[in-house]
Amino acid sequence: MQNWLQINITHSPPRIEVASWILRPARFASKFSYGNWRGNYYENIKEAIPEKLWIGANAYYHQNLVTNPGLARFWDEYRHIYSEPFRSYVEDILRSGEPVR
């Protein structure tokens, strides 16, 4: 039995870029990751989660965003599925490119 990656490598068109097929499984993970971050973001605005939980979770997602090109690429392709003010929050982080302090 072949796993997902083996099947996609075997059945992908010969001219497909390596980065393209690597990003396919990452799209689901990225959507899941941004969804969690978005949920934490809005819970923090409503003061519905402990501040320390928000600080740690936000630092995790922020650091991943500025150090992982796959997450930035996912954002470029799927930013339209996220609403304000979360969208602007993420885009400000991307523009700054600054790691967590």
In the block, residue with structure tokens 């989660």: 49
Quote the pLDDT of residue 7. Answer: 40
Quote the pLDDT of residue 12. Answer: 44
Contact 42, 86 (CB under 8 A): yes
Q: Which two tokens stand for residue 14?
A: 């010969």
pTM for the whole thing? 0.68
Residue 4 DSSP SS3: helix
Residues of the chain with pLDDT under 50: 1-14, 16, 21, 28
Contact 30, 71 (CB under 8 A): yes
Quote the pLDDT of residue 20. Answer: 54
Quote the pLDDT of residue 64. Answer: 85
Of 32, 97, 25, the closest CA to residue 68 belongs to 97
Residue 48 DSSP SS3: coil
* Alpha-carbon 73 to chain mean position: 9
